Amino acid sequence: MSLWHDTAPDGFAPRPALAGDLHVDVAIVGAGLTGLWAAYYLASADPGLRIAVLEREVAGFGASGRNGGWCSALFPSSLRAVARRYGAAAATLMYAALRDSVDEVGRVVAAEGLDVHWAKGGSVALARSAPQLERARAAVAEAGEFGFGKGDIRLLDPAEASSMVGATGVLGGTYTPHCAALHPGRLVRGLANVAERLGVRLYERTPVRHIAGRRADTRYGAVFADVVVRATEGYTAALPGLRRMVAPVYSLMVATEPLPAAFWDGVGLRRRETFTDFRHLIIYGQRTADDRFAFGGRGAPYHLGSRVRTTYDREPAVFAELRRVLVDLFPAVRDAAVTHTWGGPLGVPRDWFPSVGLNRRSGLAWAGGYVGDGVTATNLAGRTLADLVLERESDLVRLPWVNHRSPR
């Protein structure tokens, strides 16, 4: 079981399912962070809107409740890659919007009184070999090309990097202040509760079988809406005709038991900085509010035909490798118990470029394809969807991911 599911205050208790046909203004398929942020901003902007969210399992069942808890400004396509397609100005605006969205999440968390264990300590990417150190320097240089300076990302020398993250073999690294560690289960469940208080109707245990035109067909009835939002991320391939839209790729995590103060005196992470390094195979970690390591990485196999099954959430060999890497980074954790192991699919478009959009003619809106960088991007997507649905001209609807089409 996910640490976040296990330690959420409500235990992820399900809400009632849909019971019969329903007519609304906006129907949202998927009660993860994308769908819930969209519902939140729509209901906040227009309390008279009739909004329904349809969820196959329970709110936060998917990646929104299983991720590493990084509220970061990361985007899976590099600045240069975005610039090649849409121009340097668009790339700069995209990354600036994500940077600002970190603080927007923090603002909403505070305004709505959500206890998500928020700690905006920034993020450290370690360099532990000569090639990794070159990648660190290249990351800072690329950011500088687009006008992002030391207030956004800066190089760390070995002493400063080690003082932040007391890992082995540190040669340097980078630091960005634009990241907060949080408890994603508390965020997604808290956001669902806030949306309900705003009048949004949430129907759980309600699988959507088909989306066509301005309707979503479920096992328990059809939902008719002026706009249907598809917010299904790693589960998109299960919908008819969408198998090649987003590839479900698995990421897995482990969490240790709470570790004593003496351990953290040696390891650091005093401000709960999130951490990674510049290896090619992605790893990510945080110190939780109750002093555990929550640590994850890629490496689970892709399953032919974009299959998604609960059995794929558990890969013992990957869990063992994650523990090995964690011990390699922090040898003092060797004897700590691993209390939780879990995984799940995230959504990867074929060009690694997330998108958000609305086809006014068909009434279909969508957002997703975050490649694991979704905790902050879902907020930006939710605000953008609200502007698109409400036909509001804003800087958000002009960002380069709006109506972007990835190859299928």
Domain boundaries defined on the chain: 3-67+184-246+351-398, 118-180+247-348
Give the tens place of pLDDT for each residue, 192-222. Answer: 999 999 999 999 999 999 998 899 999 999 9
Please state the φ and ψ torsions of residue 69, each to the nearest 5 degrees: 75, 35
**Relative orientation angle of helices 374-389 and 88-111, to the nearest 10 degrees:** 100
pTM for the model stands at 0.95
Please state the φ and ψ torsions of residue 402, each to the nearest 5 degrees: -75, 120
The candidate with the shortest Cα–Cα distance to 176, out of 106, 124, 119, is: 124
The residue to which tokens 């240790």 are assigned: 256
Give the whole-angstrom CA distance, residue 329 versus residue 336: 14
Please state the φ and ψ torsions of residue 389, each to the nearest 5 degrees: -65, -40
Beta-carbon contacts of residue 310 (< 8 Å; ≥ 6 apart): none
CATH 3.50.50.60 fits 3-67+184-246+351-398, yes or no: yes
Q: What is the pLDDT of residue 315?
A: 79
Question: Running along the chain, 408 residues long, what does each successive block of 10 average in pLDDT?
Answer: 93 94 99 99 98 98 96 97 98 98 99 99 98 98 98 98 98 99 98 98 98 94 98 88 82 97 97 97 96 88 57 80 97 98 91 96 97 97 99 98 91
pLDDT > 90 in the chain, percent: 86
CA 344 vs CA 55, 270, 306, 327, 392: distances in Å = 17, 29, 13, 23, 35
With helix as H, strand as E and coil as C, how does the chain read?
Answer: CCHHHHCCCCCCCCCCCCCCCEEEEEEEECCCHHHHHHHHHHHHHCCCCCEEEECCCCCCCCHHHCCCCEEECCCCCCHHHHHHHHCHHHHHHHHHHHHHHHHHHHHHHHHCCCCCCCECCCEEEEECCHHHHHHHHHHHHHHHHCCCCCCCCEEECHHHHHHHECCCCCCEEEEECCEEECCHHHHHHHHHHHHHHCCCEEECCCCEEEEECCEEEECCEEEEEEEEEECCHHHHHHCCCCCCCCEEEEEEEEEECCCCHHHHHHHECCCCCEEEECCCCCEEEEECCCCCEEEEECCCCCCHHHCCCHHHHCCHHHHHHHHHHHHHHCHHHCCCCEEEEEEEEEEECCCCCCEEEEECCCCEEEEECCCCCHHHHHHHHHHHHHHHHCCCCCCHHHCCCECCCCCC
Q: What is the pLDDT of residue 311?
A: 65
204: tokens are 């759980």
CATH 3.30.9.10 fits 118-180+247-348, yes or no: yes
The candidate with the shortest Cα–Cα distance to 127, out of 119, 113, 116, 138, is: 138
Give the tens place of pLDDT for each residue, 250-262. Answer: 899 999 999 999 9
